[in-house]
Chains A and B, each alone.
Chain A
């Protein structure tokens, strides 16, 4: 596939501070890509450079082979949904959606008809005459989405659009945005710091930290095959154990907490004997039992805290000074109590390695 949106060597300096450090990225047409990272990681800066509100210090942005250099935001044909929706309070929902068409000299009657069509697509049929303050947060969100899409933009940018919604509504909107994006096939960049949002919506996730792309890949690859310690730590719940590679050829490492450990073979960085690494073990891939389980790798721990979520429970234990987090099905946790000595066990394909 050819790249539709291309960032090459995009750099952004604020004085001595590097907000973006030579970022390269290819996005295919119709792809839903999420920029994920903590605040200040460079994800929003990248979005603003694509939108044209910030100028890159260096590097190039291209859409469909055309450079965006020197183009004002007005001339980029990019739809944006802002964090707080940025709906015009003095215009009705339909007038809001008509606005980008109005700016493109579409006649009022035709424009309002197209706005109504778009409002129907986002599930707001018959709400066109309402003012934003007469709409709920989720409805405002839909209006903002309709407004960003009605002029058939080349790109759709979403800047943490779900942050202000409560949990149920957020999940509903995740599904809605995804449905609409698929239906229209618009190339979409979604910015969030919420990793579960990124997981559930994206074709591809780009993880940002400190102005760098840490990793770009499909959600499950990012989750199961993190390339850096930051990604392993940031995405999902993780146990990270310091270890030293003892035999790179046989994929064995020595960890003060887990002891002698074998690790998975797939997609690993090149490792050398004696290299300092971190072992990644997801809490849901570990099990707890009273005694060591034959056929699995085992380590001892003392149960410290049990957090019940109903459908599951998080057991936080300790081995020496190191915390170990294990996620169990809700029903499995009843035999445990805080202060118990237990054995945590796992299989070698659950162990992944990141360099330190």
Chain B
């Protein structure tokens, strides 16, 4: 027969959902609805059915581009690791002031629009750019073609995505208990063995996180490979863009986009299941 306490118990369960509505509405209107449209187009244009998917999956071009996309994403993730790991390590080793300065440089680059950064690379690597000029000035002769190559697009993507890798690794490195390192040293570990048996495994969660993040973002990269990369080595997003912009092939383009999305989700799901590294080491 008690009625009074109802509002007291209801309110805390309702409020959080109420607070979520603006974001939920925004995502629904500007993300889910367009996504549903793309999904619909992929099975309705030009004729209803799964023909677009069949064509995309059996066609050699799409398969080649997808493989190239995966290869590029993996290469970029690997290069980000090569560049990012030593830098993150340096940040944990140096004075706090210098670490902050490095972090500031990284975030400044991170905050700059990636379009601006892509154009900056076009200028730097262009035929009359400073890099070509330096190669000639140093007497190495005719500078090689740098722009519109895999090298240029990879370099720029590594530059754009490295902050994700660095932040992930750095945050894991700073959380390593210094006693673990001292303990390893007291037991005789030094240099390479310390790195291989202790430091690297302890930072593995950061590497895995950073690599997956870079890999997944890179899968969907559009502007940078289109502007800087070789036309012969297209990436998936570029191919989809061309389908829609140049050939007005909305159906096939949408099907490719859905396949790319599905693959990305599968990778994230596998990562989530397989590498529960944070939990393992927590």
Contact = CB atoms under 8 A, between A and B. Distances in A.
A99 B282 contact: no
A18 interface: no
B180 A90 contact: no
Interface stretch (A74-82, A173-181, A213-221): A74-82
What's the dominant secondary structure at chain B's contact region?
Answer: helix
Contacts of B247: none
Contacts of B204: 90
A79 B186 CA distance: 7
A253 B58 CA distance: 105
A83 B193 contact: no
Contacts, number: 63
B201 A80 contact: no
Interface residues of A, number: 26
Contact of B188 (A82, A89, A103): A103
B188 A100 contact: yes
Given A88-B198, A90-B202, A102-B197, A82 B187 contact: no
A59 interface: no
A72 interface: yes
Interface in B162-187: 177, 179-180, 182-187
A91 B201 CA distance: 9
B281 interface: yes
B186 A51 contact: yes
Interface in B213-261: none
B180 A100 contact: no
Nearest to B186: A80
A82 B202 contact: no
B182 A82 contact: yes
Interface string B112-154: 0000000000000000000000000000000000000000000
Contacts of B193: 103
Interface of B: 177, 179-180, 182-190, 193, 197-198, 201-202, 204, 280-282
9 contacts: A72-B185, A74-B190, A76-B186, A84-B177, A86-B183, A89-B281, A99-B189, A99-B197, A102-B197
